[in-house]
């Protein structure tokens, strides 16, 4: 295992420990080569955190506008993004 990989693994461990201690729900996934993704859900927001093998961290934040939509909107969204 390369030293850079140990750096990334260490960051994943440290961050998931911190998220758990803060009571923030998260899931781990592997989305691309040499990146572990951590998806977090907090009220009104979702975070996608990418931790690269070299220890670099990137975070994308998705915020809700607080507006609720009906079932017709859901159907429209599904149709819009259908394969």
Q: What is the CATH number of the domain that holds 39?
A: 3.30.160
pLDDT score at 1: 43
Which run of H or of E encompasses 30?
Answer: strand 25-32
pLDDT tops 80 at residue 6: no
How many whole angstroms separate alpha carbon 11 and alpha carbon 23?
18
Largest CA distance in the chain: 51
pLDDT tens, position by position, 8-42: 888 999 999 999 999 999 999 987 788 999 999 99
Domain that holds residue 20: 3-80
Number of compact structural domains in the chain: 1
pLDDT tens, position by position, 35-61: 999 999 999 999 999 999 888 999 999
């Amino acid at each position: 295992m390369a030293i850079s990989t140990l750096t990334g693994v260490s960051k994943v461990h440290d961050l998931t420990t911190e998220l758990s201690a803060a009571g923030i729900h998260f899931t781990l996934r592997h989305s691309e080569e040499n990146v572990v993704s951590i998806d977090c859900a907090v009220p009104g927001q979702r975070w996608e955190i990418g931790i690269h093998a070299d220890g670099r961290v990137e975070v994308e934040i998705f915020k809700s506008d607080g507006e609720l939509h009906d079932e017709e909107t859901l159907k429209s969204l599904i149709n819009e993004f259908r394969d």
